[in-house]
Every structure is written in structure tokens, then in C-alpha cells.
Structure 1
Amino acid sequence: MRTRLVGIVAGILSWVGLALAVVLVLHVVLTVGGANPDNPITSTVKAIAEPVSLAFKDLFRPNDASLRTIVNFGLAAIFWLAVRAIVLKLVRRLG
């Protein structure tokens, strides 16, 4: 029973961490690709990505807006993938 519960928790955490990283990467793609900022998809992705990026949102301030988005939101995505890996390891060890 415990093993199954740990598996379920690990699965949920894995998907959440992956979803956060995907939203951040999608924001980078939409921004760098020049997506219409007034489009509901673009604005929704941005509304989710900005708080998820934490302090990475303005970590680096290059003059080029595209580069700024790539670096800062890209680092946030890498951060969430690393957190995901660490949390999954801890959950599986405790289980």
C-alpha cells in the first residue's frame, strides 16, 4: 500500500514539475516567436509563466528582449526540472 501511495505521489509531483517547465519554455517560444500578446493563449501562458519564474524573471538584463526572455525563463525552466528531480528522489527514498 505504501509503495503504491509513494508511486502516486511521485507521479503527481513529476507531472507538476514537468508542466511548470513546459509553461516556461512555451512562454519563451511564444515571446521570441513574436506571438500576438493580445491572444488569449499567449496572455494565459504569460500569466502562468511570470509567477512560476520566481526570481529568475529579471535575473539578467540584456538589452535584447528576446535574449532576456530566453535566458531568464530558460533558467527558471531548468530550475524546475532540477527541483523535480530532487523531489522525486527524496519521495522515492522516503517511500
Structure 2
Amino acid sequence: MTEEVRTGAHESGVRRADLRRGWGRFVDVLILVVRWAGLVCASLLAIHVILTIGSANPDNGITQFVASVADPLALGFQDLFTPADPQLAVLLNYGIAALFWLVITSIARRILAALR
């Protein structure tokens, strides 16, 4: 019997490789979730901007839903700029919030990828 077989070194190496592979898969899934979460948040904010600038009916259920979801996703950017034109305010504030989501999720994905 070789030293490797008696000590279980080979078996330990296999277990470590399995753990590394499992960790890599977990991180890959986490990166995918972060990517989609950021895209969904940024998309909802962009849709809110489009509906507002396009003068969508504010009494419509879809418009109300998107506005109610976009407000908390704006993360304090809702009143960053206060131009006289309310449509311009929505474009600037919610547009910046959408970009913020894309940048933050991109940074988070890079950090997670480094943990792989």
C-alpha cells in the first residue's frame, strides 16, 4: 500500500476538489441572481421614466404598479434634482437610480467572481 492510500491523502484531495467545485457553482448562481436583480431593478426604473415622459395615464393599473415599485427602488434618488419640469425630474432622478443599480450590481458581480 502506498503512503497516499494509507493516509487518505488522495481521498482528502478529492473532497477538497468537490468542495471547490461546489463553491464555484454556488458563486456562479449567486452572480446570476445579482445580475438579474440589478437588471430587473434598473428595468423597472427605466419603465417608470418611459411611462412618465410618455405621459401614460396615471390612473392605469400598470402605471400605478410601476410607480409604486420604482419609488422604493430609487433609493433616495427621487428628489436629488428638482428642476421645474416634473418629467425632467423623473428622467434625471430615476435614470440615475437605474444607472446606480447597474453599477452596484456590476461591482458586486466582480467581487463575487473574485471569491470563486
Q: TM-score when scaled to structure 1?
A: 0.98
Shift of 1:54: 1.2
In structure 2, the gaps of 5 or more residues are: 1-21
For the pair shown, which has the larger CA radius of gyration, 1 or 2? 2
Superposed CA RMSD in Å reads 0.6
Shift of 1:85: 0.4
* Bigger relative CO (Cα 8 Å, ≥ 6 apart): 1
Shift of 1:2: 1.1
Q: TM-score when scaled to structure 2?
A: 0.80
Identity %: 41
Shift of 1:90: 0.6
In structure 1, the gaps of 5 or more residues are: none
**Corresponding residue to 2:92 among 71, 75, 86:** 71
Runs of 4+ more than 2 Å apart: none
Partner of 2:101: 80
Check if 1:15 corresponds to 2:70: no
* 1:25-62 Cα distance to aligned partner (Å, 9 max, x none): 00000001010111111000000000110111000000
